[in-house]
Amino acid sequence: MAIERFEEEIGGKKLIVETGRFAGLANSSCTVQYGETLVLATVVLSKTQREGVDFLPLLVDYEERLYAAGKIKGSRFIKREGKATDEAILTGRLVDRAIRPLFSEEIRNDIQVVLTVLSFDQQNDPDIVSLIAASCALSISDIPWLGPIGAVRVGRIDNEWVLNGNYETRLKSDLDLVVAGTKDKVMMLEAGAKEVKEEEMLEAIRFGQKHIGKIVSFIADIQKKIGLEKNSEILKKDEEEIKELESLKIKVREFADKNLENILFDHNIETKLGRREARENLSEKLEEELIKQEIGKDKRKKAQEILECLVEEEISKAILEKEKRVDGRSIKDIRPLSADVGFLPHNHGAGLFKRGDTQVLSVVTLGAPGDEQHLDTMEESGTKRFMHHYNFPPFSVGEVGPLRGPGRREIGHGALAERALIPLIPDRESFPYTIRIVSEVLSSNGSSSMASVCASSLSLMDAGVPIKKAVAGVAMGLASLEENNEIKKYKVFTDLQDLEDSTGGMDFKVAGTCDGITAIQMDTKTKGLTDEIVKETIYMAQEARLKILGVMNKAIEKTRVELSPFAPRVTTLRINPEKIRDVIGPGGKVINEIIAQTGVLIDIEDDGLVMITSHSQEGSEKAIEWVKSLTREVKVGEIFQGKVVSILDFGAFVEILPKQDGLVHISELAPYRVNKVGDIVKIGDIIPVKVIKIDEQGRINLSLKQANPDFKK
C-alpha cells in the first residue's frame, strides 16, 4: 500500500495524518501526529457476528508505551508495561464515549479500536491526538460509521482562550475542557475547572466547536481521497427475517400497549427494586403469552429485546410529550435528598449522601506527606497527594457478583469525582496532609458518581480539611426525537435515573460549588447535541446543584475547626535548604535517630519545607526542637551555653548547637591575660559564650569574657 500523507494547521501546529505505513492487515490504520506526539490507530471488524448479544460489541483500547516518552519502568524487577494505568483507561473511555453514538446499534460484529502511543513529546497530550486518530481510522475504513468527528482541548489564561495548550499552559489555566463533535454538534465533553461560571463554560464549548469544524473537514477530505467503501452487508437482513421481525414487533407492541402504562407509571412503586420486579413480571407475562402462541425460544428472546426497547421508548415518549416521569416527578424535580456526617466511630471523616435510591458513603483518611502516591507512567513522573477512589459492589444494584478490582467504569467515576473536588483541596503549604477519599456506593439508581462528589465533600468538611465551600454534582438527562440524525424535539430533565438513560438520551454530569463549575462529563446516545440543548442543560444543572448544596449545608455548613483525634498531626517549618544535609546526616544517620527517638515521620522538600507527622504531641514537639537546633542560623550577639569539645594552644572549640562549633580565642577567655587555655576551661565544661563574629567562610568566633564579664577561674 502506498504511503499517503496529509497536513493541516490546527492551533498554530501541524496536524499530520499518514496512512499506508503500518498495520496493513487491519481494516484500516493511520498515524496522527501533533507536535512530536504520534499515535497509531488501528480498526478491526470481526468476520462474523457475535452470537447472543443485544448490544454493539465495541472495544476501545488505549495503549501507553514507555518508549514513546524515552522511559524505562522504574521498578527494579518489572520493566515491561503491565496492566493499563488509570490514565490509559480514562483516555480509552474518553475516545469510546465520543465515537460510540455514531455506530448503528444494529451491528453485532465485534469492532476493536486500538490506539498505540508511539511517540510522546511531553508537550502535546496524546488523548486529543488519539481521539482524532480514531475518527480518521474509522472514517477511512469499510466499517459503517457516521463520522468524522474532531476534538480539541480548550484552556483559559488571563481571560484569553487557549487552543490545545501544552502541559505547562494547562497548569496556568483555570479550565481544562475537551470538546469532541461534528461541525455543529457536541458528542462528548470532559472538563475540570476552577469554579468557572456557566456562561464562561458555554463560551469555552463554543470556542472549541468552532475549531472542531476545521478538523472534521480535514478528515472528510482524506476520506474522499482514500476512504474505503462502507460494508453495508453487516447491517443487511434477509427479507424473510425482516418480515418475521415485523410480525413479532406487532405482537409485542399489542402486549405493551395493554400493560406498559400501568406498570411504568404506577406511583405506588417507589423503589428501583420494585420497578425491576414489575418489569420482570411483565417479561414473564410476555413469555407465557408467546409460549401459548407456540413461538420458538429464539424468537421469544428477540421479543424480550423488543419489549426492552419499547419500555425505553415509552419512558422517553412520556417525558417528551407529557413531561411525565416514572416516579411522578416534574422534569426539574430532584429525588428526595438527605445528607449526614460524623457517624463512624474511629475514622478521620465521613459523609453519607442519599438521593432517591442512590446512596454513597465517602470516608476520608489523612496521612503523612510521605504517603503520597508515586507516579511512573508514560505521561507522568512525580507524586499525587489527593486521591479519590470509587467502589461499586454488586449489592448496590441488588445483584450477586464476584468482588474483583475496579473496572473501567469505577476508575472513570472515581476520576470524575476527584476532578470535581481538586479545585477546593488546600495547597500543601497550608495543609500538608496526603488525602485519600474512598466512596462506597451502597445502592445505585443513577448518577452514583455525582452522589460520590456530594458525599466526598461532606466527608472532607467532617474531617476538618479546610475546604472553603461544599461541592455537589447532578446528572442531567434528555428525551429526544431524531429524524435523519437531527433532533426535532427534545426535553432536558434533572436528576437522571437508570430507567431514563435510553436511546435518544444523554448523561450530562455537572459538578461545582455555589460559585461555579468544577467538572463536567457528558456523553450522549444521540447523533450530537446542539448549542441550545447544551445551554439549557448547564443552566438547569446549576439550579439543581444549588438545591443539593442547600441540603448538604444543613448537615455541615463549614469544615470542622479541629481534626479528628484519630488523625495524625502534621507540623511544618522552613529551614535553609543548605541545612538539609545537617538534618539528614551522613547516610541518613541523623534523621533516622530523630525518628527513632521521637516516633515521628519526617518529610523534607528540596526548598527547605520540613513536615513532621506524629500521633503524639510530645514526640512532635521534641522532633521540631531537634530540627530547629540542627538548622538554627547563629547571629552575632547571641549568647549560648556551650560545651567545650576540644582545646588547642590558641583557644578552645565550643559546641553551641548540634554540629555547630565556634572558637573562643585565648584572648577572649578572660578579662586578663591567659597563659594557658587549660587554666581556664576543660573539655566537657559547660560555659556561657557570646557570638562576636561570623567570617565570610561561616566560621564562628566566640567570647567567654564578653558573655560573662564576671567569669573568674
Among residues 555, 589, 620, the one where a domain terminates is 555
Q: Residues 315, 293: one domain?
A: yes
Strand order in the sheet with 601-604: 569-574, 609-614, 601-604
Distance CA 588, CA 139 (A): 59
CATH, residue 662: 2.40.50.140
What CA–CA distances, in Å, run from 174 to 169, 402, 517, 618? Answer: 10, 41, 11, 42
Helix axes 531-555, 198-226, angle to 10 degrees: 140
Check whether residue 541 and residue 587 sit in a common domain: no
The answer on pLDDT for 367 being more than 80 is yes
pTM of the full predicted structure? 0.88
**534, 393: one domain:** yes
Residue 189 predicted with pLDDT over 70: yes
Whether pLDDT at 268 is above 70: no
Count of beta carbons in the 10 Å neighbourhood of residue 217:
14
710 pLDDT exceeds 80?
A: no
Residue pLDDT, tens place only, 477-504: 999 999 988 999 999 999 999 888 888 8
Determine, yes or no, domain membership for 102: yes
What does the pLDDT look like over 654-663, one tens digit per residue?
A: 998 877 899 9
In percent, how much of the chain has pLDDT > 90? Answer: 68
Q: Which of 631, 649, 672 is the last residue of a domain?
A: 631
296 with 391, same domain: the answer is: no
The answer to whether 290 and 304 have CB atoms below 8 angstroms apart is: no
- Amino acid in the structure at residue 342: G
Same domain, 37 and 120: yes
Does the pLDDT at position 596 exceed 60? yes
CATH number where 105 lies: 3.30.230.70
- 381 and 511, same domain (yes or no): yes
Give the CB-side neighbour count of residue 386, counting CA atoms within 13 A: 18
Whole-angstrom distance, CA of residue 424 vs CA of residue 418: 10
Question: At which residue does the C-alpha cell 526548598 appear?
Answer: 607
Domain assignment of residue 560, yes or no: no
pLDDT at 303: 85
Q: Is the pLDDT of residue 327 over 80?
A: yes
Listed in sequence order, the residues at least 6 apart from 682 whose beta carbon sits closer than 8 Å to its beta carbon are 644, 647
pLDDT of residue 712: 54
Count of domains in the chain? 5
pLDDT at 671: 87
Give one DSSP letter per residue of 381-408, joined into a string.
Answer: EEEE-EEEEEE--GGGGT------S--H
Whether residue 330 lies inside any domain: the answer is no
- The residue-averaged pLDDT of 292-304 equals 83
Kindly state whether residues 179 and 228 are assigned to the same domain: yes
- Domain of 256? 237-322
pLDDT at 20 over 90: yes
3-state secondary structure 263-326: HHCCCCCCCHHHHHHHHHHHHHHHHHHHHHCCCCHHHHHHHHHHHHHHHHHHHHHHHHHHCCCC
pLDDT digits (tens, 9 = 90+) for 41-83: 999 999 998 887 888 999 999 999 999 999 998 878 888 888 8
pLDDT of amino acid 233? 84
- Considering the domain architecture, whether residues 543 and 403 belong to the same structural domain is answered as yes
Q: Is the pLDDT of residue 169 over 60?
A: yes
Inside any domain, residue 713: no
Indicate whether 242 and 347 sit together in one domain.
Answer: no
Element (H, E) at 671: none
Residue whose C-alpha cell is 427479507: 239
pLDDT computed for residue 232 by the predictor: 86
Query: Are 400 and 549 in the same domain?
Result: yes
The β-bridge partners of 700 are 694
- Residue 651: burial class (beta carbons within 10 Å; 0-12, 13-18, 19+): buried
User: 650 and 624 in one domain?
Assistant: no
Is residue 186 within 8 A of residue 528, CB to CB? The reply is yes
Same domain assignment for residues 230 and 244: no
Q: Assign 136 to helix, strand or coil.
A: helix
Q: Name every residue whose Cβ is closer than 8 Å to that of residue 668 and which is 6 or more positions away in sequence.
A: 651, 692, 701, 702, 703, 704, 705, 706
Q: Is residue 564 part of a domain?
A: no
User: Does the pLDDT at position 170 exceed 60?
Assistant: yes
- Asked whether residue 180 is domain-assigned, the answer is yes
